[in-house]
Amino acid sequence: MIVARRKPAPPLLAAATGKSTILVAGCKGCVAVCGAGGEREVGLLATQLELAAKRLGQKRTVIRATVARQCDPGFLPPFDNLMEQAQACFSLGCGVGVQYMAERYPGKPVFPAVDTVFAGGSPAAGHWEERCRMCGECVLGETGGICPVSRCAKELLNGPCGGSVNGRCEIGRDQPCAWNLIYERLSGQGRLKNLNVITPPKDWSRAGAGVRSVAREDLMP
């Protein structure tokens, strides 16, 4: 899932200055799951925007609305009427959602209300961690299912680096060394011979340049 966090309020409130009608647009996808951009957060931001206007003695209407996914343009039409009324939108979608909103409503400013941070998961309640940098050339099959690109501080494809101590990374003892984890995993599977193979430099052309896309003809109408 995409992990994001709420932006601090002051710059958002500053961007809203002078806007009498604002749409606060949420998303029920990843950003809702990580507590950054779902219906609850829409309500919080909308209330902040209303109170800020009240403090300044201004009249402001804040419209609250949340769709299933902002990263899929097919889910955006419910915003159409609301955006006709609004002078600006604060989108709590991830960076993808904000861009689709801005594309659909090019005549009005769409401000991101969250910072999109990484693709990861939630190993414990209230905790999210990065697990994939979407490099386009997955090596998990060779590394025991542990990603060296996102989990090694130096993104080493051949590790460890020599700074690992007692299974911890040299950049911080609170962080496990990804290559130690890979060693342990491969050892448990009887596949340590994988470490004798030098992985060549990554072919970053596989990651794509410019706008990356994936086309699946079997899923097209």
**Closer residue to ligand SF4 in complex, CB, 9/153:** 153
Q: 186-195: long-range contacts (C-beta < 8 A, 24 or more apart)?
A: 186/143, 186/144, 189/144, 191/144, 194/142, 194/143, 194/144
Least CB distance from residue 159 to ligand SF4, whole Å? 4
Other CB atoms within a 10 A radius of the CB of residue 81 amount to 11
**Closer residue to ligand SF4 in complex, CB, 13/161:** 161
- Closest residue by Cα to residue 73 from 95, 103, 94: 103
Least CB distance from residue 214 to ligand SF4, whole Å? 13
Query: How far apart, in whole angstroms, are the C-alpha atoms of residue 201 and residue 158?
Result: 9
**Closer residue to ligand SF4 in complex, CB, 4/147:** 147
The DSSP output letter for 65 is E
Q: Which amino acid is at 78?
A: P
**Closer residue to ligand SF4 in complex, CB, 112/160:** 160
**Closer residue to ligand SF4 in complex, CB, 50/170:** 170
Query: How far apart, in whole angstroms, are the C-alpha atoms of residue 179 and residue 148?
Result: 7
Least CB distance from residue 15 to ligand SF4, whole Å? 33
**Which residues of the chain form contacts with ligand SF4 (CB under 6 A)?**
132-135, 138-140, 147, 149-150, 152-154, 156, 159-161, 163-164, 169-171, 177-179
